[in-house]
């Protein structure tokens, strides 16, 4: 599946705002909602994620066509990483382990901000490494394919 690379960057911008609000308010419910957004993007794909739908309906029609499309796999993996941090942060805030909530949210915020401000997708950069490691483990026969 190919996606307009401006869509994930738009989603990262919205995510940045949401995570800043979470850090300011300490709202585990808002962070849980963001975790759901990440989970949808990871499981169903970027085009069905809430921020992807907003981009598709409200933003993309106002833009020139993209110069090129990119494979969805790396940004989708990045959403999975975001989901893991948002879930961990939600558990931290909800159980009163505030340092865990703040730390996990801050790490997710740093990654979202890098993508939103500079177009650098940290999770996308991790994706090839993850693929190499899992391919190596499979080739060594430790994990069934």
What average pLDDT score do residues 64-79 get? 95
- Distance, in Å, from the CA atom of 24 to the CA atom of 40, rounded to the nearest integer, reads 25
3 backbone dihedrals φ, ψ, rounded to 5°? -130, 155
CA distances from 53 to 7, 20, 49, 129 (A): 9, 22, 6, 29
Binned at pLDDT 50, 70 and 90, residue 143 comes out as: low
- pTM of the complete model: 0.90
- Distance, in Å, from the CA atom of 15 to the CA atom of 19, rounded to the nearest integer, reads 6
Virtual torsion, Cα 99, 101, 103, 108, nearest 10 deg: 180
Q: With 0-12 CB in 10 A as exposed, 13-18 as middle and 19+ as buried, what is 62?
A: exposed
- pLDDT at res. 135: 87
**Would you state the structure tokens that stand for residue 49, as one six-digit string?**
């994620």
């Amino acid at each position: 599946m190919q996606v307009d690379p401006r869509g994930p960057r738009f989603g990262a911008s919205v995510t940045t705002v949401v995570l800043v609000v979470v850090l300011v308010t300490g709202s585990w419910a808002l962070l849980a909602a963001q975790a759901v957004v990440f989970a949808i993007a990871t499981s169903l794909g970027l085009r069905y994620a809430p921020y992807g739908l907003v981009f598709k309906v409200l933003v993309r029609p106002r833009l020139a066509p993209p110069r090129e499309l990119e494979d969805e796999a790396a940004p989708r993996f990045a959403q999975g990483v975001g989901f893991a941090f948002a879930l961990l942060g939600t558990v931290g805030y909800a159980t009163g382990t505030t340092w865990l909530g703040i730390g996990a949210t801050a790490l997710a915020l740093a990654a979202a901000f890098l993508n939103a401000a500079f177009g650098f997708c940290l999770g996308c950069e991790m994706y090839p490494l993850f693929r190499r490691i899992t391919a190596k483990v499979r080739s060594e026969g430790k994990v069934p394919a």
